[in-house]
Amino acid sequence: MNDRLLVLDTETGGLDPSRFSILSVGGVIWDAGVLGPEINLQIAEDVICTEPGSLAINLINPEIHLSTATPVTTAIKTFTNYLSVNFPALEKGEKITLVGHNIAFDVGFLRRFFLLGNMCYDDYFSHRLVDTAAILKFLQLAGRISLDSQSSSAAFAYFDIKFQQCQRHTALADARATAALFNEMLRLSKAHD
């Protein structure tokens, strides 16, 4: 069994992947607690669809974004190459398990990215997901932590995960922080009373 995982985060133009653009994807390889190769892609869809609420959170300026981002057809090749290099078991049909905070949201936009890039999401990724927000809820219910929220901000503060505030809500920085959160929660679950 391969325990290598991909911790992933996206920044998007809105909440609905059927309507809004994927703007960036960040990922970090997790292998038995050790963080490995990263990817950080700024993605330029042919037409960028956004809404003000999301841009107020991720602070992405669509005009500046378009001037530096990679077109979808190139970005998807870069991303799938990264996956193939770091998950050689893909060649044997073994799929990648994704980890993220509210990962189903990111999966929706990742599926959009693959569709726009004329690639099949299901060729690369398992239907099994690891959601750090769900793990937080489990730890709360088990009485292992006292936290009133499953938000990433509350979790990062609770576990004292530090990053530059100006990088918050960038895909790669959030993926790194989520990987650190995953490690902290694993450590806590293995600790004996």
Q: What is the pLDDT of residues 110-128, one digit of tens each?
A: 999 999 999 999 999 999 9
Number of structural domains found in the chain: 1
Distances (CA, A) of 93 to 28, 29, 125: 21, 19, 10
Residue 2's pLDDT is 65
**Structural domain boundaries, residue 79:** 5-190
pTM given for the model: 0.94
Answer yes or no: is pLDDT of 7 > 60.
Answer: yes
Residue 162's pLDDT is 87
Please give the share of the chain, as a percent, with pLDDT higher than 90.
89
Q: How confident is the model at residue 3 (pLDDT cuts 50, 70, 90)?
A: confident
Answer yes or no: is pLDDT of 1 > 60.
Answer: no
Beta strands in 70-180 (DSSP E): 70-71, 96-100, 125-131
The alpha carbon dihedral of 123, 135, 162, 179 has a sign of negative
Cβ–Cβ under 8 Å, residues 170 and 26: yes
Answer yes or no: is pLDDT of 191 > 90.
Answer: no
Residue 165's pLDDT is 64
**CATH (domain of 105):** 3.30.420.10
Answer yes or no: is pLDDT of 192 > 70.
Answer: no
